[in-house]
């Protein structure tokens, strides 16, 4: 048992060193190929993201996918701005597909990183106060809290992917909530970014009110939702 623990510890250290080395190498290559980048400027608006991605043509879709992926892992970066740019660059459905695919992959990566490396790594990306606020609810299987945060705008859903990895939440349940809860926000952002829909100020008020109503409905029926997601947990544990 002790040898397995030591081996697992070395695996974590080596894999982390390799991951850091890969990131440094990637940034070094990018700096040599395209010059220094002010990342705060890149992520400041939809237009700046669009201009940044266009310089990679004809590999723009790949660059966009990777950029959206980074927004999930580096939680403070607003992913909806990237999705707006995706709609403007590639149209509604292509932008939505790229944003959602990156979102699902990134959510899985953050969940796995948190589960493998633990809280010390998560605290480098997520404020400690936010971890303490949500971890107990997730650990006690109050899945409705997590599902509501994924589904509704203005919640720190990227950070919650990290926090979920620290809990006893099983990956199939986490993935189910991500697949159901996160794409709607990407669809709205892609729809607006593509120019198909223009939402005025009063439209955002309606969206906020609808979100509040949906949150109330989720809270009202949280028992049913938790039992449904709990049955998925039981099923996966039996199959495992």
Q: What is the pLDDT of residue 233?
A: 47
Question: Residue 237: its pLDDT value, please?
Answer: 46
**Confidence (pTM):** 0.76
- Among residues 157, 129, 113, which one has the least CA distance to residue 19? 113
Q: What is the pLDDT of residue 65?
A: 92
Grouping H, G, I as helix, E, B as strand and the rest as coil, residue 226 is: helix
Task: Enumerate the domain spans of the chain.
Answer: 37-239
Contact call for residues 163 and 131 (beta carbons, < 8 A): yes
Tens digit of pLDDT for each residue in 42-77? 877 888 888 888 888 888 899 899 888 888 887 666
Q: What pLDDT, on the 0 to 100 scale, is given for residue 75?
A: 61
Q: Quote the CA–CA distance of 108 and 52 in Å, as a whole number.
A: 26
Residue ranges in the chain modelled with pLDDT below 70? 1-13, 15-17, 19-20, 23-24, 26-35, 75-78, 137, 139-143, 145, 153-155, 197, 199, 201-204, 207-208, 211-212, 214-216, 218-219, 221-223, 225-240
H helices present in 74-182, as ranges? 79-90, 92-117, 119-122, 128-139, 143-151, 157-166, 171-181
Predicted pLDDT at 234: 46
Alpha carbon distances (Å) from 78 to 45, 129, 154, 170, 204: 10, 20, 10, 27, 18
Angle between helices 183-193 and 79-90 (to 10 degrees): 50
- What pLDDT is stored for residue 108 in this prediction? 92
């Amino acid at each position: 048992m002790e040898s397995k623990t030591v081996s697992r510890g070395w695996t974590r250290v080596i894999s982390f060193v390799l991951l850091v080395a890969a990131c440094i190498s990637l940034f070094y290559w990018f700096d040599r190929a395209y010059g220094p980048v002010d990342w705060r400027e890149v992520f400041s608006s939809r237009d700046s993201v669009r201009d940044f991605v266009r310089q990679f043509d004809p590999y723009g879709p790949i660059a966009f996918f990777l950029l959206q992926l980074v927004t999930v892992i580096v939680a403070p970066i607003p992913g909806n701005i990237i999705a707006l740019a995706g709609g403007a660059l590639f149209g509604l459905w292509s932008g939505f597909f790229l944003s959602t695919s990156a979102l699902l992959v990134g959510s899985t990566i953050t969940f796995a990183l948190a589960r493998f490396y633990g809280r010390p790594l998560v605290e480098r990306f997520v404020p400690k106060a936010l971890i303490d606020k949500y971890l107990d609810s997730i650990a006690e299987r109050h899945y409705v809290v997590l599902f509501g945060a994924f589904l509704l705008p203005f919640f720190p859903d990227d950070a919650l992917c990290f926090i979920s990895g620290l809990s006893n939440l099983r990956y199939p349940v986490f993935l189910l909530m991500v697949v159901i809860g996160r794409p709607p926000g990407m669809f709205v952002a892609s729809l607006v970014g593509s120019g198909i829909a223009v939402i005025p100020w009063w439209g955002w008020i309606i969206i906020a009110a609808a979100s509040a109503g949906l949150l109330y409905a989720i809270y009202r029926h949280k028992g049913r939702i938790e039992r449904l997601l709990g049955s998925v947990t039981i099923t996966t544990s039996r199959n495992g």
